[in-house]
Chain A
Amino acid sequence: MIFIAIQFLQPARNKSGQVMPTDISRTVPVSPAVSALLKTGCYDCHSNNTNYPWYATVQPIGWIVNGHIQKGKAELNFSEFGSYTIRRQKSKLKSIANQVNDNSMPLASYTFIHKNAKLSKEDKALIIDWATQTNEAISTKQ
């Protein structure tokens, strides 16, 4: 009974359906290859557009998924990257390189379910190089 009842309590969907002017792709150069990796590997939790799996409509899974998204977006939101200060943009790029390098991100629990989000050695190198170079290219002068 409770299970059926909670199905009516759907959390708001994280789907703006548009590319914001503050999106990272409009802030710094992002190659199509890197962009594709970010979209499949990171955007579900780190942007305003989540590609929901079907079971996210089943509660309480949907609530758990929603919690992860809120936490992920607070940490880093690629859709709002352009609104960060230059100093913070640089910090985030540095953290992206670090987290991908030591396999902290994408989360193992996420890639376990989303097999296509698992980064190969080449994928990792691509993201790390991009993040490092972009970080160096951003001038600290404002």
Chain B
Amino acid sequence: MAIVAIALSACNNNTTEEKKTNDTTNSAATAAPVTGGSSVKDIVEHYLHIKNALTKDDGKEAANGGKALADVFAKFDQSSLTAEQKKTFTDIQADAKEHAEHISVNAEKIAHQREHFATLSKDVYDLVKTLGGGQTLYNDFCPMYNNNKGATWLSETKDIKNPYLGKTMPTCGTVKETIQ
């Protein structure tokens, strides 16, 4: 209970601060409605952190990204979401947070990190399709991963950099969809 109370008061503080900065700068008001806590932008940022680490076969860095991602999922501010969006978010959060945690504690097992990254990618895809990603993202597809069952991932660049096969096949894959 105490933790919830602290979290709530922390969010309230942030809200007022955000409002103040918005008043003075009077810009970025059209961007994703951020009011305290973390936003979709933070989630995308840390997701891409994991993705880029995996393209370099860097399990340790992927773990750092996983820790940060689990954290922003936990602190996500839902106040600006509609009831319908909240439902979708809660569903995605329960799953994605767990994948992020697994990635964070398996720095030495990159194959296992990639398994979780595959499902996480689907979660984050659904999230940006529902709430918007705040930036242009590419939904890429690697047909070879997981015994040719294939898997998707989100990227901030149009060039293919494969997080599943890493340095062994860095350019394997195609852009399936551009998400504006």
* Interface-centre pick from A84, A86, A91 (highest chain B CB count, 10 A): A91
Q: Which residues of A contact B98 (CB under 8 A)?
A: 88, 91
Name the distance in Å between A42's Cβ and chain B's nearest Cβ: 18
Q: Which residues of B contact A84 (CB under 8 A)?
A: 94
Whether A87 and B115, one on each chain, are in contact in the complex, defined by CB atoms closer than 8 angstroms, is no
The total of Cβ contacts below 8 Å across the A-B interface reads: 24
Select one of A91, A98, A104, A142 contacting B95, CB under 8 A: A91
Whether A87 and B99, one on each chain, are in contact in the complex, defined by CB atoms closer than 8 angstroms, is no
Q: Give how many B residues have a beta carbon under 8 Å from the other chain's beta carbons.
A: 12
Name the distance in Å between B110's Cβ and chain A's nearest Cβ: 13
- Complex: how many Å from CA A88 to CA B98? 9
Whether B115 and A85, one on each chain, are in contact in the complex, defined by CB atoms closer than 8 angstroms, is no
Q: Which residues of A contact B38 (CB under 8 A)?
A: none
B159 in contact (CB, < 8 A)? no
- Complex: how many Å from CA A91 to CA B122? 11
Select one of B91, B115, B123 contacting A98, CB under 8 A: B115
Q: Which residues of A contact B99 (CB under 8 A)?
A: 91
- Complex: how many Å from CA A94 to CA B99? 12
Name the distance in Å between B147's Cβ and chain A's nearest Cβ: 10
Whether A95 and B94, one on each chain, are in contact in the complex, defined by CB atoms closer than 8 angstroms, is no
Select one of A85, A98, A102, A104 contacting B94, CB under 8 A: A85
Q: Which residues of A contact B90 (CB under 8 A)?
A: 85
Whether B94 and A88, one on each chain, are in contact in the complex, defined by CB atoms closer than 8 angstroms, is yes
Closest residue of chain A to B149 (Cβ to Cβ) is A132
Closest residue of chain B to A140 (Cβ to Cβ) is B126
24 contacts between A and B (CB under 8 A): A84-B94, A85-B90, A85-B91, A85-B94, A85-B95, A86-B91, A87-B91, A87-B92, A87-B94, A87-B95, A87-B123, A88-B94, A88-B95, A88-B98, A91-B95, A91-B98, A91-B99, A91-B119, A94-B119, A95-B115, A98-B115, A102-B111, A104-B112, A142-B91
Interface residues of B (CB under 8 A from A): 90-92, 94-95, 98-99, 111-112, 115, 119, 123
Given known contacts A87-B95, A98-B115, what 19 new A-B pairs fall within 8 Å (CB)?
Answer: A84-B94, A85-B90, A85-B91, A85-B94, A85-B95, A87-B91, A87-B92, A87-B94, A87-B123, A88-B94, A88-B95, A91-B95, A91-B98, A91-B99, A94-B119, A95-B115, A102-B111, A104-B112, A142-B91
